[in-house]
Amino acid sequence: MYRYLLLVLLCWACALTAAAQHPDTSSAKLKTTKDTLVATKQDTDVVRSFKPKPHKDKVYHPDSTHSPHTAVIRSLIVPGLGQIYNHQWWKVPVIYTGLGLLGWAVVYNNTYYTEFLAISKYREHGVTPGPKDPYYNEYNTYINQPDQALYDATDGYRRDRDLSILGILGAWGINAIDAYIDAKFMHSYSVDNNLSMKVTPSLLNQPVFALNSTSSYVMGLKITFTLR
């Protein structure tokens, strides 16, 4: 009897011992979580990595169809037309303002030159103009002026008129030169990627006025422009 009871107790104790032992899943879970984090971090790094696109510098090329000769001819024919050809529209009002002022100066000085020339001829020939003669009122206005004053006024207005005419010709020529320069240097040449500059230190020979110096060379900078 005791033998069977002891055997039952032993079986029951073994059953309790087996039921009390559970598998340790904490390390497995930790390992799985760790692996997941590593994989997620690696995937995130791959997704966030940015590779810039290759950038190609813009190369500027001159406008070979733009002709400086055409710009000059147009400006010589009609002032400002060469500037319009060069797309320099803002220069046209400046040109015509200058030419307009010079033209007004020509008309103004020529009017008074003609007037004083007629009065001077009346004085020179000792003629008194009648009411129907030209510059009759002007002659009476300057009747008390000495002859030399009338001659000087005539020469002064003539000189100013001639200078104004030369100014118009000069402005016309400057207008043509300006059109040529714009067409030549703004449309025929460009500072693009083919032009490079390099600055390096260098030794220069002493100038003549400094030959008495203790050194035959002086420090300087060497600038080299390269057009590829």
- Domain-located, residue 91: yes
Mark whether 100 and 145 lie in a shared domain.
Answer: yes
Mark whether 129 and 213 lie in a shared domain.
Answer: no
- Domain-located, residue 74: yes
What pLDDT is attached to residue 187? Answer: 61
- Domain-located, residue 4: no
- Domain-located, residue 58: no
Mark whether 181 and 223 lie in a shared domain.
Answer: no
As a whole number of angstroms, the distance between CA 141 and CA 85 comes to: 52
Instruction: Assess contact for 177 and 208: CB atoms under 8 A.
Output: no
As a whole number of angstroms, the distance between CA 75 and CA 95 comes to: 11
As a whole number of angstroms, the distance between CA 134 and CA 210 comes to: 75
Mark whether 145 and 215 lie in a shared domain.
Answer: no
Domain total in the chain: 2
Mark whether 156 and 220 lie in a shared domain.
Answer: no
- Domain-located, residue 57: no
What pLDDT is attached to residue 28? Answer: 47
What pLDDT is attached to residue 14? Answer: 61
- Domain-located, residue 162: yes
With 0.95 as the threshold, say if the pTM is over it. no
Mark whether 86 and 180 lie in a shared domain.
Answer: yes
Instruction: Assess contact for 191 and 59: CB atoms under 8 A.
Output: no
**Residue 210: partners with Cβ closer than 8 Å, 6 or more residues away:** 218
Parent domain of 206: 197-227
pLDDT, one tens digit for every residue, the chain (228 residues): 555 566 666 666 666 565 555 555 555 444 455 455 454 545 554 555 556 666 666 555 555 677 889 999 999 999 999 999 998 899 999 999 999 999 999 999 999 999 999 999 998 888 888 888 899 898 888 888 898 999 999 999 999 999 999 999 999 999 999 999 988 887 655 555 555 667 777 777 666 555 555 666 667 777 776 655
Mark whether 221 and 156 lie in a shared domain.
Answer: no
What pLDDT is attached to residue 198? Answer: 73
Mark whether 129 and 215 lie in a shared domain.
Answer: no
Mark whether 74 and 93 lie in a shared domain.
Answer: yes
